[in-house]
Amino acid sequence: MGYGDTITAEIDFNGFSLPLDVGICQTEPTTGACYAAPTTSVTVDIAAGETPTFAVFAQATAPIDFDPATARIFVRFVDGSGNEHGATSVAIEAY
């Protein structure tokens, strides 16, 4: 981000229901270690020019068929007003 703000990184499935237990944490950039236990969202004060890192953990509770159009984990970065500042996603499959 070009300016400082408080951002919440939150996980969703883009309106689909998936049999997953998920969590996200902010990580220490050089080691990848979580600063705190993963939860469904994490709120971070980000200074101008800072590039925080995050890790996502997922555990399937039932099989998930290969369907990259709908079987996806999304991470959205939202400010306190609900404005999205970015997002990323990854397809998921579980046996």
Rounded mean pLDDT of 30-54? 95
Rounded mean pLDDT of 17-26? 98
Residue 30: which CATH number? 2.60.40
For the chain, the straight-line distance linking the first and the last C-alpha, in angstroms and rounded, comes to: 38
pTM of the model: 0.90
Please report which confidence band the pLDDT of residue 2 belongs to, taking 50, 70 and 90 as the band edges.
low
Q: Which domain does 48 fall in, by range?
A: 5-91
Which has the closest alpha carbon to 7: 78, 83, 84? 78
Rounded mean pLDDT of 56-60? 97
pLDDT recorded at residue 3: 75
Is 80 exceeded by the pLDDT of residue 57? yes
* Cα separation values, 10 from 30, 34, 65, 85, 95, Å: 22, 15, 24, 12, 25
* CA gap 37, 35 in Å, rounded: 7
Please report which confidence band the pLDDT of residue 93 belongs to, taking 50, 70 and 90 as the band edges.
very high
| Total number of domains in the chain | 1
Residue 65's SS3 state is coil
Contact 40, 56 (CB under 8 A): no
